[in-house]
Amino acid sequence: MKNSTHQTARSTTSVTSESAFLEIENLVKAYPTSEGDPLTILDGIDLTIARDEFISVIGHSGCGKSTLLKIVAGLENPTSGSVRLDGKEIRTPGADRMMVFQQYSLLPWLTVQENVRLAVDEVLKKASSVEKKQIVSEHLAMVNLTAATNKYPDELSGGMKQRVGIARALATRPKMLLMDEPFGALDALTRGKLQRQVLDIWEQHRQAVMMITHDVDEAIYMSDRIILMTNGPQAKIGEIIEVPFSHPRNLSEMRETQEYYDVRNHALDFLDRYFTQDE
Ligand SMILES: Nc1ncnc2c1ncn2[C@@H]1O[C@H](COP(=O)(O)OP(=O)(O)OP(=O)(O)O)[C@@H](O)[C@H]1O
């Protein structure tokens, strides 16, 4: 089934300006070093993402993917350039962007519903107590966790913990979801199930998503475009692949098409070209 032609792996650098929701312009990020001169990690990133678009960011370890995500989250500031969400410059974290990390950052002394409720209380301050209760149970149901509502994190599997993290992020109704290798710590079977669940939710309630992953198949399955980063330091966007499948998607059907393998090979060839000896 595999072949190496690239005919369907189209590259596009941006969405149209009318539909741009996140706009990253000439972003540079440098960190100070003990040697004196700062080290430029990201060097001139230009990227626009639409309001209802799911994008994945792939690149070799250390190229600056998490740094880029943290800048969009407002946890880090760019050295120069601009990052705007819905026309407004991002400088600090905000309830319009929620993050899901690889390591489930749940509070161990709170139950599943209390973990989600804490975030809802923090963000949806104007909602009534009844509404907030409803939002929490609705989002726990979305990730099939109703039965685990009153459990504590250490009573849950890794996949369940990650589902709580996803329910928590979605329950605050952010305009943008930022995910840093959200399935990276899970076994293959759990990963596949959770990818499907997140995709089901996203296909029903579309929002802007930026997901970092090391997994090309995950990126093809879930995203509209795949951002391929060059190696760091001074990493840039090397290429952007438009995934030629509409949503909702069916992985088995996708895998029966030539387009799937064209995109896959194209992305893997790119990553091979940027492979370095010290990785
Ligand atoms: N706060 C910081 N101070 C100095 N250097 C930093 C800081 N944060 C990240 N870096 C450096 O920036 C580079 C990019 O790091 P980053 O974590 O963004 O890469 P990544 O592509 O997400 O890596 P990985 O795939 O391994 O998670 C690395 O060389 C890292 O050491």
Domain harbouring 243, CATH code: 3.40.50.300
Q: Where are the alpha helices (DSSP H) in 76-187?
A: 112-123, 129-142, 158-171
Are residue 36 and residue 166 in the same domain, yes or no?
no
Are residue 82 and residue 149 in the same domain, yes or no?
no
**Lowest-pLDDT choice from 21-35, 139-153, 219-233, 265-279:** 265-279
What is the rounded CA–CA span in Å between residue 250 and residue 239?
Answer: 25
Q: How far does residue 33's CA lie from ligand 1's centre (Å)?
A: 13
Ligand 1 contact, 174 CB (< 6 A)? no
Nearest Cα neighbor of 106 from 183, 195, 167 is 167
Are residue 162 and residue 227 in the same domain, yes or no?
no
Closest-lying ligand 1 atom to the alpha carbon of residue 63? 21
Ligand 1 contact, 61 CB (< 6 A)? yes
What is the rounded CA–CA span in Å between residue 48 and residue 46?
Answer: 7
Strands (E), 138-277: 176-180, 208-212, 225-229, 237-242
Tell me the per-residue pLDDT of 189-229, one tens digit each, with 9 for 90 and over. 888 988 998 998 899 889 999 999 999 999 999 999 999 99
What is the rounded CA–CA span in Å between residue 218 and residue 211?
Answer: 10
User: What's the domain count of the chain?
Assistant: 2
Domain that holds residue 91: 1-96+179-279
Are residue 20 and residue 123 in the same domain, yes or no?
no
Maximum Cα interatomic distance, the chain, rounded to a whole number of Å = 57
pTM: 0.90
Tell me the per-residue pLDDT of 75-93, one tens digit each, with 9 for 90 and over. 999 999 999 999 999 999 9
Tell me the per-residue pLDDT of 247-256, one tens digit each, with 9 for 90 and over. 999 999 999 9
Last-in-domain residue among 154, 173, 192: 173
Ligand 1 contact, 62 CB (< 6 A)? yes
102 within domain boundaries: no
Provide ipTM, 2 decimals. Answer: 0.97
Ligand 1 contact, 162 CB (< 6 A)? no
Q: How far does residue 166's CA lie from ligand 1's centre (Å)?
A: 24
Q: Using most ligand atoms within 8 A of CB, pick from 39, 40, 57, 66 the residue to mutate for ligand 1.
A: 66
Tell me the per-residue pLDDT of 40-65, one tens digit each, with 9 for 90 and over. 999 999 999 999 999 999 999 999 99
pLDDT at residue number 103 = 78
Closest-lying ligand 1 atom to the alpha carbon of residue 32? 4
68 within domain boundaries: yes
Last-in-domain residue among 173, 193, 226: 173
104 within domain boundaries: no
Are residue 149 and residue 68 in the same domain, yes or no?
no
Q: How far does residue 66's CA lie from ligand 1's centre (Å)?
A: 7
Are residue 166 and residue 267 in the same domain, yes or no?
no
| pLDDT average, residue stretch 112-121 | 96
Are residue 193 and residue 277 in the same domain, yes or no?
yes
Instruction: Output the CA angle 66-70-73, nearest 5 degrees.
Output: 140
Question: For residue 167, how far is the Cα from the chain centroid?
Answer: 15
